[in-house]
A and B are shown apart, each in its own frame.
Chain A
Amino acid sequence: MVHLTRRSMLRGSLALAAAKTVGVPYVARAAATTATVWFAQGFVQDEDVALRKAVADYEKQSGNKIELSIIPFAPERQKIISALTSGVVPDMVDSNPGEILQLYGWQDRWVDVSDVVETQKSQFSETALLAAQAYNNVTKKRATYGVPLRAAVVPCHIWKSLVKKAGMKIEDIPKTWDAYFDFFKKVQDNLRKQGERKVYGLGFQVTANGVDPYNLFMAFLVAHGGQDIVTKDGKLHLDDPKVKEAAIKSAAYLGGAYRDGYVPPSAINWNDADDNNAFHAKLMVMDVDGTLSTEVAIKEKHPEWYYDEIVTHGAPGYPNDNAGKPIPSIVGYTNGLIPKGAKNVTVAKEFLKYFIQPKVIGEFVELGLGRWLPVMPSLAKSPFWQNPKDPHLKGYVQQGLLGPTRPDYYVFNLAMAEVRSQHVWSMAMIDVAKEGVKAEAAIEKAFKRIGEIFAKYPMA
């Protein structure tokens, strides 16, 4: 029997240490060509297939290795926050949630990627370039920390068949904001007269879960003239009468529609996917929801719904404001981010440079069925996006890339990201919808809270 002695243990330890000195350089050399990448799982499988293809093409071309993890949306978000908290980070992540770029940019946690963006700078939309920046509270400067990969806006999804059933025509949908949404109240009234007990006109997310309610409220705020709530310099303008009036009108319309029975009652407890499910179940005639996930989710299983029964925006396209002027849509972006402390910044940057080549990134969004928009206007002119037989893509790309756009407000001031995550607008909508509070009082309360949140993020 071999006895384990103190000496034999010491010998073993020395042998291990010696082996490490030989082995570690090999591992380090291997790591030099390998980058770890995390990306959120797609709503449809085609999105993941498109991403895997782009990665495989890059690996083939470069000889480098990408260790790709495709993770469901919510767990990926938790993984990213956990990684940044612990300091053990991957080489590249997508910005999930979108505001994470600004959130951790504030803390100086991202690698500057302006050199990557520079390679395609002339191709990107201005809004995309703006949204790739964040204010760094350590250096007291703005810098480019994100590489724009794809984009999304909040379109209107409509059951054409339900409009028809109500004895109305999709061509009759008015072009101005309030009238546009009022149209669906009439659709509901008509359907109720026909005995439809459980169909609602409007799918407003009057809830305090997820990102949908913030996006919905912001779309209404901008449509009602409140676009200057935060200016490019990061300053908050709650004292601007136009902003206040727009906020009150938005809370009154959204909360009022719920209170008056034009929104499914369960909307008050919806999470981000629930309105999609409710729309597919024909619980409401129309839904205002980010990306084309509503449409692409049913494209394969129900092509007749996709091509004949559902329409994006309807005949007038994305509605104008009440005065008839086009409204800029707020665009959210998925950016590629490299955390500080990443082991292989070089490969991560190389991969991103490859990924944002117009041909590669154009194919990436198109293979994903067009749930996400491209970030380069030139790509919007492809036959895929301009297909006249498709009732969704052309209107979607017009709204989010070719028409007037602006980045979300947390790009200008991080505080707006907390306004979003704290669901300040949601509480105002719910106060009006459920508690019987007047819109003026609900907005007064919301403005007070927003002021407190902005005070936490002073900018030089």
Chain B
Amino acid sequence: MNRIEVTDLVVRYGDVTAVDSISFAIAPGELVTLLGPSGCGKTTTLRSVAGLETPTGGSIRLNGDIVYSGRRNVPAEKRGVSMVFQSYAIWPHMTVFDNVAYGLRVRKLPQSEVRRNVERVLDLVQMQDFATRPASKLSGGQQQRVAVARAIAFSPSVLLFDEPLSNLDAKLRAEMRVELRELQRRLDITSLYVTHDQEEALAISDRVIVMNDGQIEQIGSPEEIYNRPISRFVADFVGSANLINGTVRGPSGKNRTLMFDAEGGMQLEVVAADESRSGQEMAALRSSYVHLDDPLETHNTVQGTIHRRMFHGDFIQYVVDWPAGQLIVRRPPTELFDEGSSVTVSFAPEHCVLI
């Protein structure tokens, strides 16, 4: 049975449709991310699941029970979900212990039980030494840990994350990402996670839901989303991709690829989810999947010139002049080419995806 099931959810504010009839389901123990730019409706969707927003239509089920439908709207406090807020929402007038104990005390657990549970979760987030500290005297990272501890303390069936790492600096964010994933796996807790950071979404999710303009663009595993974007929006928003215009000529006859007449007179072999496509199309090519002077591939080999080189540390970004204009290529820092030198550009057909 699915833990979360959202069906045809619609949220409207006056004339503005924030969420436009979306559906998805989350299996027990799964971590699913809602990914999209600000204003795409991802936070509204999450808040509707939490019961903090009243949808206009559709239905939401938690653990098989309807919590929202046209007739029924279970208030937030009765849904049994838990949430980590973007601003952490740590109550400044309480100690760390009181913050974490809140959900347990609301449920009228005996004193000893409250203490045991608070200590257990503070241990999990490595904040056991801070229990008596006033919550107003915590750093951002510590507040984040307390917020997570508070959210898991009363063993909710579903955990919701609203951009929980967006207020941390880059290094801490990368660390917390690993810890959150670790914790979620260990507790095997079903999670719905909202973020606008594609790197974060790819790194921690079992599945990613890419949203744009209130609608779902694509649902899939991080690898599927990255390797096989099905729309220009997904190709553009997730990772770095080159977009190539051209015309589909039909099947190439081998390896289920298609022939593609790209701009600049290039003949490329490409793949598509739907092989019967033809006519004017656009193909997406990830910057990291392009080789320079390493023509292992027998297909898709083109001559180009290095226009600009930018050293990024973890990779080098090249701007390559090629027949279709300019191509962005990312190579490991060991592959150095001088600006102005000629290179052979090559890439595998399965990395050039019709969108």
Q: Do A and B bind each other?
A: no
